[in-house]
Amino acid sequence: LMSRVKDAGLVRTAGLIGGKWTEVASDKGTFDVLNPATGAVIATLPRMRADETRAAIAAAHSVLPQWRATPARERAAILRRWHDLILQHQSDIAALMTAECGKPTAEALAEIAGGAASVDWFAGEAVRVAGDVLEPPSRDRRMVVLKQPVGVVGAITPWNFPMSMITRKVAPALAAGCTVVLKPAELTPLTAIALAGLAERAGLPDGVLNLVLGDAAAIGHELVHSDTVRKIGFTGSTAVGKMLAAGAGAGVKRVSLELGGNAPVLVFEDADLELAARGIVASALRNAGQTCICANRVFVHTAVYDKLAEAVVGRVRKLKVGDGAEPGVHVGPLITPAALDKVTAHVHDAVAKGGKLLVGGGRPEAAQLAGGGGGGGGGAAAAAAGNFYLPTVIGEATIDMRCFKEETFGPLIPLFRFTSDEEAVLLANTTEYGLAAYFYTRDLGRAWRVAEELEFGMIGLNEVAITSEVAPFGGVKQSGLGREQSKYGIAEFMDIKYVCMGLG
Ligand code: ADP
């Protein structure tokens, strides 16, 4: 790995507290970062806990007055330099990201472009924060509204987007004038370390962005129960998000949560089936199915079901599975053996309940792995060591299956049938989640009706590539609270203060 990272300064085995790269005493323990394509240990990092978290919070708090008072233009200039440095080092960041998270290099580069775009976007937003002057109800008063940074922010991010889940929290927080304690996922800390190093090079003052790595529960507990931390931004599982929200609620701390999804795709009988098949495969298999907006359940009108199924299966058959660092790989490994077990269980459950296995349905043989098959004995070992699962399509899926009720978070595409618009919308909405939903139709009336009826925070109509720094990202129901990105994203990091002036 290190031979593929040109700028050795981006690779460290330390957290960042108050501008100091901090190793903890080795008797406090370490944790390993593994490459999910090979099982190899690629880094060993200090396991930080409550003490280091408290120190990071104190550092963030001590520089808050200075950072908050820095003119927005100057904060924006630092964010722009960070953006530029991220793009200059994108191939190094991609190498780290693919090594720790498994996603193919092309997807890593796309994530870096998107993450950098959100840094640039919030650099732009920093200078556009504006309050209000209100019309007073009587002539002896004047009323204004100020927008001020909430203060110290705790950001907790997941492994499936090791960079962009960080930038969409940290960039608006810094733009707003907040300081940050970031806890990246312990599965993918190397991307976060590289990003923090580049922020330092961009001229971000010491203590404005702190990085703590290690014991999630201990770090999370400190962040949530600290009186100094005023806001928690979290992306991750619904279970952890609910726990953090409950803790934050006890201290009346603000929270933004981006939790699980169970995204439906509806394919109506008038849909462009090739377009739909392409979108379904791209969405369901992005990051090997491990994104919270991946198509998880595909509902197809019975009149076009067979044709759509054939088109989806045809596309899936052409995909290459393998180490994301190999050229031409479409589907990388899953993040952990536990993730592999979940997909395996969902596929077995579906088949046991009458689902038809149309393609995939197990782990790849060595010969099915890109780069691993041709080269003799090494292939079988690679196939066994990596957390690979073949992209899988199940036909005749039904609502009693686990893949209907739960987020699979793996490369599984279950195809369900429907016969009316009402049934399709009801099936789609039958989930406690409400993050993203997609549908394919060319009928304008249906397009409006269905877009309005789907209980999700984001809708893709004839399109699955919906994520953008300009658009609000977030969910309804148990998928979360608040919105990231877009013109709405910075408000999450600002308090509204009303000032009433008597003219005496
Ligand atoms: P995922 O399924 O994406 O791994 P998690 O919710 O477990 O979802 O992880 C998302 C983030 O939450 C990671 O940074 C993880 O370390 C962190 N996390 C996990 N458990 C806790 C906890 N008890 N308190 C705070 N953060 C936690």
What is the amino acid identity at position 208?
Answer: V
For position 26, what pLDDT does the model report?
Answer: 67
Q: Measured from the CB, is residue 246 less than 6 Å from ligand 1?
A: no
Q: How far apart are CA 388 and CA 337, in angstroms?
A: 9
Nearest CA to ligand 1 atom 27: 216
8 A C-beta contact, residue 71 and residue 237: no
Alpha helices in 251-372 (DSSP H): 273-285, 305-317, 337-352
Q: Where are the alpha helices (DSSP H) in 370-492?
A: 378-385, 402-405, 421-429, 444-453
CA–centroid distance, 422 to ligand 1, in Å, is 37
> Is 200 a catalytic site residue?
no
Rounded to whole angstroms, the Cα distance separating 86 from 67 reads: 22
Q: Is the CB of 217 under 6 A from ligand 1?
A: yes
The answer to whether the CB of 332 is under 6 A from ligand 1 is no
Determine if ligand 1 sits within 6 Å of the CB of residue 237: yes
Contacts from 487-490 at CB under 8 Å and sequence distance 24+?
A: 487/125, 489/122, 489/125, 489/168, 489/172, 490/122, 490/125, 490/126, 490/129, 490/172, 490/175, 490/176
The pLDDT score that the predictor gives to residue 345 is 98
Please tell me the distance between residue 58's alpha carbon and the centre of ligand 1 in angstroms. Answer: 23
* Residue 367 Cα to ligand 1 middle (Å): 35
Q: Could you state, in chain order, the average pLDDT of each consecutive group of 10 residues for the chain (504 residues)?
A: 89 97 82 96 95 98 98 98 98 98 98 98 98 96 98 98 98 98 98 98 98 97 98 97 97 97 98 98 98 98 98 98 96 98 98 98 94 58 89 98 98 98 98 98 98 98 98 98 98 98 95
Structure-block tokens of residue 269: 């009988």
The finding on whether 154 has its CB within 6 A of some atom of ligand 1 is: no
Q: How far apart are CA 117 and CA 125, in angstroms?
A: 12
From 52, 258, 326, 484, active-site residue: 258
- Strand segments (E) across 135-225: 141-149, 152-156, 179-183, 209-211
Q: Whose CA is nearest to atom 23 of ligand 1?
A: 217
CA-335 nearest atom, ligand 1: 4
pLDDT in tens, 143-201: 999 999 999 999 999 999 999 999 999 999 999 999 999 999 999 999 999 999 999 99
- CA-nearest residue, atom 2 of ligand 1: 237
Which positions ≥6 away from 437 have C-beta within 8 Å?
A: 263, 264, 265, 266, 428, 454, 456, 458, 459, 460
**pLDDT for 374:** 46
Instruction: Indicate the Cα dihedral angle 224, 488, 178, 480, nearest 10°.
Output: 10
Closest CA to 162 of 92, 115, 220, 231: 115
498 burial (CB, 10 Å; 0-12 / 13-18 / 19+) is: exposed
Quick one: pLDDT at residue 383? 79
CA pseudo-torsion sign 225, 228, 231, 232: negative
* Amino acid, res. 286: R
Q: Which of 48, 156, 335 to mutate to test the pocket of ligand 1 (most atoms within 8 A of CB)?
A: 156
Burial of 244 from C-beta contacts in 10 A (0-12 / 13-18 / 19+): buried
**Residue 362 C-alpha to ligand 1 middle, in angstroms?**
28
The pTM of the whole model exceeds 0.95:
yes
* Interval between CA 208 and ligand 1 midpoint (Å): 23
Of ligand 1's atoms, which has the minimum distance to the CA of residue 240? Answer: 6
